[in-house]
Amino acid sequence: MESTERIEEMLPLKPVWFQMMVALAGGATHGYRIRQEVEQRTERRTRLWPTTLYGTLARMEEAELIEEVAPPAGDSEDDVVRIYYRLTELGREVLVAETSRLEALVRLSRTRIAAG
């Protein structure tokens, strides 16, 4: 399947997937940090309970949007072993496409509101 078709097939992203992918756009991080960032950015309107968080990470990994990576050197945060994730190339392309889709919707909405 061509990459463009595969990307289009994944849109629109589920809101939680989008939020988590935005968290990973800045670089590799672990699940708990993703949870913290999403909840802070959404002013806790999006809550990522552990079952939701790790289930979603697993589904995103199956969809080849993210992948596990080695933790950065010296990562000993509270002596807890953490699994780090990053966006794959496909994941980055899907995030760019979804961001463009959402921007177009916002432009349309603003135009209609201004005209009304």
What are 74-105's pLDDT values in tens digits? 766 666 789 999 999 999 999 999 999 999 99
Report the domain count for the chain: 1
Structural domain range at position 40: 3-115
d(CA 9, CA 34) in angstroms, rounded, equals: 25
Residue 72's domain is classified under what CATH number?
1.10.10.10
Secondary structure of 8-61 in HEC code, one letter for each residue? HHCCCCCHHHHHHHHHHHCCCEEHHHHHHHHHHHCCCCCCCCHHHHHHHHHHHH
pTM recorded for the entire structure? 0.91
Strands 66-69 and 29-30, sheet pairing: unpaired
Q: Check whether 11 has a pLDDT greater than 80.
A: yes
Question: What are residue 30's DSSP bridge partners?
Answer: 84
Structure tokens at 113: 């509101």
